[in-house]
Chains A and B, each alone.
Chain A
Amino acid sequence: MDTKKILARIAAIAKKIEAEKDFLTQLDNEIGDGDHGINLSRGFKSVEEKLPTFADKDIGAILKGVGTQLVSTVGGASGPLYGTAFMKAGNVCKGKFELTAEDFAAALEAAVNGIKMRGKAVEGEKTMLDALCPAYKALKDGIDGGKNLIDALADGVDAAAKGVEYTKTIIATKGRASYLKERSLGHQDPGATSSLYMLQTALEVLREA
């Protein structure tokens, strides 16, 4: 994955979030405070405006720039969480203009750990981690088993989609949905859903020759 694809992926995330803004907000209305789509859309719109200034930068600098922009525009919990994720991923891609499958996995791992650290959360609490953790594991297993990035990431996206489904079956213990206790059952987590979108767009961009 080179800088061009990274920039295309960021633009694709912005487009996807804009398209799904109302759906994400509706999911958040059901178990949260109904602003997830609105906040992410505001943040990624401003990231999109900044994209031209990232054009000649290395991947680490691009991801870090995206993270900083998200932190300063999204607000809510998802701003610091996604912002930290992109900044941490940027740290491990410092100076690189092309990511190998292993680099991509290392970046995703750093992003996931950043979210765990900032949110003091683990898997199974009905959060974005329920999409991201299984996705990372499937991606890593695929790469370790000799798969190329596209195939391994396809496994990761499948695992994330299953993770989103899984959030319907569990009670939230982190974030605002935790107050609902068993009333949060049956609802899919908006954060896990937006995380799935971000992984899906990476795969789509990679598949475009």
Chain B
Amino acid sequence: MKKLINAVDAVEEQMILGLVKSAPDKLAKLDCGNVVVRAKKKSADKVALVSGGGSGHEPAHGGFVGAGMLDCAVAGAVFTSPTPDKIFEGIKAVATDAGVLCIVKNYTGDVLNFEMAIDMAGDEDIKVDHVVVNDDVAVQDSLYTTGRRGVAGTILVHKIAGAKAEEGASLEEVKAVAEKVIANVRTMGMAISPCTVPAAGKPGFELAEDEVEIGIGIHGEPGTHREKIATADEIAKTLLDKILADIDYKGREVVVMVNGMGATPLMELYIINNFVQDYLAAAGVKVYDTMVGNYMTSIEMAGFSLTLLRLDDELKKLYDAPADTPALKR
């Protein structure tokens, strides 16, 4: 294992401290653990947003704490959900009279830990609700699986629900718009090389020199299938076709996110975006805005994911609303 770290068991805390020190006037870390909050708490009449998950997905989620997006992000160990006591501390720290909405990615661990934390908050009469993001079309949503995974589309839930909360909407309204984003956002990813969890010391999976994993999750977990590496355009087409077949995007305006998995050069992400834009135009999908960069990563995995969010007037307005966070400004 070759990494720029100091000690395996210091990775998460030093990462969070470094993030906070990058914006000391805007972010703060709670003493109880790896919980990032806004330096200045929002007013009591606005809903607070809490998210979180395992570390290793930077800038998610701590990098999206700030005006117009999250109020708090709780970081667990690398690729491991944070524990209920820490999530509860985060909820308590940012809770307002208007309530708290937790944005949870659909993984059994994240859901279970957030549910326990929400029970704890409910016991203390904090008004709290949650939504579960499940945008990954690579895995089947059925009674026979845990349901689709939550991946890069989560960032758009942060953005849009965050803007709604900033307007002073009620908890019910903020939840409703988060649900609307979830209903309209779809993602699929792939990898060309694996990543190593520091505590494990070796890669979580292996890929041959000429092999790629299609439909991979953000923890390097296996996707739909492996195949021989193809051109960037061919791979992007495979992912896009699966997304476009899932909900009807024809004639609609969309936000496109070309998300790097951590070790993918921007050069390659732009090559992919070059194809994506032309392909969507030919498919009759109108691109309203495009985000290219690292938003939801998997440590040093090389690969990318594509996300499409179908817009309506409300989502467009909230997407365009101001945001001031380390990883997303508008």
Residues of A participating in the B interface, judged by any CB pair closer than 8 Å: 25, 29, 31-35, 38-39, 42, 71-81, 118-119, 171, 173-176, 178-181, 183
Q: Is the beta-carbon distance between B80 and A34 smaller than 8 angstroms?
A: no
Given A173-B145, A179-B138, A179-B221: 19 more A-B contacts, CB < 8 Å: A31-B222, A34-B79, A34-B200, A42-B77, A71-B83, A71-B85, A72-B85, A75-B76, A75-B83, A76-B80, A76-B81, A77-B109, A79-B113, A80-B112, A174-B146, A175-B146, A176-B221, A179-B139, A183-B222
Assuming the A-B contacts A33-B221, A183-B222, are A175 and B108 also in contact, with contact meaning beta carbons closer than 8 angstroms in the complex? yes
What are 14 A-B residue pairs whose CB atoms fall within 8 Å in the complex? A32-B221, A33-B220, A34-B197, A34-B219, A34-B220, A38-B77, A75-B113, A76-B81, A77-B107, A77-B109, A171-B144, A174-B146, A176-B217, A178-B146
B146 interface neighbour in A33, A78, A79, A176, Cβ under 8 Å: A176
* B149 at the binding interface (Cβ < 8 Å): yes
Per the 8 Å Cβ criterion, residues 219-244 of B in contact with A are 219-222
Tell me the nearest residue of chain A to B84, going by C-beta: A71
Q: Is the beta-carbon distance between B112 and A119 smaller than 8 angstroms?
A: yes
Q: Is the beta-carbon distance between B77 and A39 smaller than 8 angstroms?
A: yes
* B5 at the binding interface (Cβ < 8 Å): no
* B204 at the binding interface (Cβ < 8 Å): yes
Assuming the A-B contacts A80-B116, A183-B222, are A75 and B109 also in contact, with contact meaning beta carbons closer than 8 angstroms in the complex? yes
Tell me the nearest residue of chain A to B80, going by C-beta: A75
> Number of contacts between A and B (CB, 8 Å)?
106
Q: Is the beta-carbon distance between B200 and A73 smaller than 8 angstroms?
A: no
Q: Is the beta-carbon distance between A80 and B84 smaller than 8 angstroms?
A: yes
Q: Is the beta-carbon distance between A176 and B108 smaller than 8 angstroms?
A: yes
Which chain A residues border B205 with CB–CB below 8 Å? 29
Residues of B participating in the A interface, judged by any CB pair closer than 8 Å: 54, 76-77, 79-86, 107-109, 112-113, 115-116, 138-140, 143-146, 149, 197, 199-200, 204-205, 217, 219-222
Task: Give the complex CA separation of A75 and B116 in angstroms.
Answer: 12
Q: Is the beta-carbon distance between B200 and A35 smaller than 8 angstroms?
A: yes
B113 interface neighbour in A31, A80, A173, Cβ under 8 Å: A80
Which chain A residues border B140 with CB–CB below 8 Å? 179, 181
Task: Give the complex CA separation of A187 and B185 in angstroms.
Answer: 33
Q: Is the beta-carbon distance between B84 and A72 smaller than 8 angstroms?
A: yes
Which chain A residues border B115 with CB–CB below 8 Å? 80
Q: Is the beta-carbon distance between B146 and A179 smaller than 8 angstroms?
A: yes
Which chain A residues border B76 with CB–CB below 8 Å? 75-76
The 5 A-B pairs at the shortest CB distance, nearest first, are namely A76-B109, A178-B145, A80-B112, A77-B109, A75-B80
A176 interface neighbour in B107, B113, B200, Cβ under 8 Å: B107
